[in-house]
Structure 1
Amino acid sequence: MALNDPKDVTSLSYRLRSKRDHFLREFLLRNGRSIIDLGGTSDYWRRVGLDFLKDNGFTVTIVNIEETELGEGPFKCMVGNACKIDLPDNSFDIVHSNSVIEHVGGWNEVTAFAGEARRLAPAYYVQTPNWWFPIDPHFWKAPFFHWMPEAVRTELLTRFSIATAGRITDRRLARQIVEDTRLVTGRQMRELFPDAEFRRERFGGLTKSWIATRG
């Protein structure tokens, strides 16, 4: 069985994402219609379902550091830093974030990101891979990769096709990729989202990722 091929219906990632999308759709339906997606993409929402979004009257404001092409759908683009967004409290019905909090920087940035997620809407949905799971989905070809020292990870990225983007020949870029991917633990997630309910995505008896929800 493949581990992380989203197009392979037998892969672990495909099966988990299918279950996650079903849970997400139910969560969205009961919590409102205006969504702010911190660091997301329109391709992600197409997987969730354009017809689902349109038929149920959802709007999705996607926040990223740089402006991105959104294409067809109920999407709006907002350029900004998801760790500090210049909007009033409860500007939306739902905050959504999928595999982003582990990319925003150090602990101060992670804490700020969580604060914005809790502030911008009455309901939130935040998913992230679990640091204690032996495979980081960003580098799924190399088990235990994220537990190695940063210097070792940087070296491996320059030598082998481990990252989703393939081999990284530029050493500075490889170092940046390593520094910009910091998985969090379940204990840290509970500290960041003390008012959340937590859903575990499991594989082989281990928690592969966490979903924190309020609402």
Structure 2
Amino acid sequence: MATNPTPTLGRLKTLQAGFRRKRFKRVEAIISTIVAEKGSCAVLDVGGRGDYWQMLSPSLRSKTDIEVMNYSAELVSYAASPKDALRVSNVVGNACSMPQYQDAQFDLVHSNSVIEHVTSYQNMMLFSEEVTRVGRFYYIQTPNYFFPIDPHYAFPFIHWLPDNLKIRALASFKVGTAITGGFADAMAEVDNCRMLGRWIFKRLFPDARHLREPFLGLFTKSLIAVGSRYEPCPRLD
């Protein structure tokens, strides 16, 4: 008998939302510190979505200007609709190349689960260079390669397969929440997601304080880099 995946996916989304809220407390702590220092905070959310910022405390909303930068296709799907005093704007851009922004133009550059989607390790290096350049502070989160469940497909171990086997699996079977239409889509899926372990992540952000998001006390679910190339970053533990 076929099982209905909807309850499982619902529980997974609830669990992920809980982790997201917990992580956001660190983001809000940085914003609070900046607002206390200068009275306002300019945020660049790289590859984000406007509705994510609904978690921001009402007391900070009128003092925080948030620019959500993404590809045009993504902004069509996830365009911010500012409400409840949120000051959010949408811009089209590429985080691997941001010549439109000056050094340290933003108080905080924020990125959740984006760096693993920039299609190549060379682009990851460009990404790290740019986000640390345009922000006084940066907060970068990415899923941990060594966590046994791939969060992109809600499926265990698929991300540990060599590319050849992963492409074959995605092209041939229903793998978790993956939506593929065959070989070409499977190739694109694999190109679009290269998860990182702690060793590489630390070298992409060598000046950061590196934090772990624990799961059940046994695993590290996500990797987080918080730092600044310009000045000391406030402690968030």
**TM-score if structure 1 supplies the norm length?**
0.87
Aligned residue number for residue 91 of structure 2: 78
Aligned residue number for residue 154 of structure 1: 167
The count of aligned residue pairs is 208
8 Å CA contact 2:43–2:110 kept in 1: the answer is: yes
Query: What CA deviation, in whole Å up to 9, does each residue of 1:76-131 have, x standing for no partner?
Result: 12211110101110111000000000000211100000011110111100000111
C-alpha separation in 1, matches of 2:148 and 2:42? 36
Change (3 A) 1:45 1:160: farther
Per the TM alignment, residue 2 of structure 1 is displaced from its structure 2 partner at its CA by: 5.8
C-alpha separation in 1, matches of 2:12 and 2:30? 22
C-alpha separation in 1, matches of 2:118 and 2:29? 28
8 Å CA contact 1:82–1:113 kept in 2: the answer is: yes
Q: How big is the alpha-carbon RMSD for the aligned residues of Structure 1 and Structure 2?
A: 2.2
The 4+ residue runs of structure 1 with deviation greater than 6 A are: none
Alignment of 1:55-134 (within 5 A): 55=62, 57-66=63-72, 68=75, 69-72=79-82, 73-86=86-99, 87-134=101-148
Aligned residue number for residue 41 of structure 1: 49
C-alpha separation in 1, matches of 2:20 and 2:71? 25
Aligned residue type for 1:203: F
Per the TM alignment, residue 36 of structure 1 is displaced from its structure 2 partner at its CA by: 0.5
Residue 144, structure 1, aligned to residue 157, structure 2 = yes
Partner SS for 1:161 = coil
Runs of at least 5 residues in structure 2 that lack an aligned partner in the other structure: 1-6, 36-40, 228-232
**TM-score if structure 2 supplies the norm length?**
0.80
Per the TM alignment, residue 151 of structure 1 is displaced from its structure 2 partner at its CA by: 2.5
Larger Rg, first or second structure (1 or 2)? 2
8 Å CA contact 1:4–1:137 kept in 2: the answer is: no
C-alpha separation in 2, matches of 1:100 and 1:152? 24
Aligned residue number for residue 212 of structure 2: 200
C-alpha separation in 1, matches of 2:71 and 2:219? 34
Runs of at least 5 residues in structure 1 that lack an aligned partner in the other structure: none
Query: Aligned to 1:213, which of 222, 226, 229?
Result: 226
Identity, in percent, stands at 34
Residue 15, structure 1, aligned to residue 29, structure 2 = no
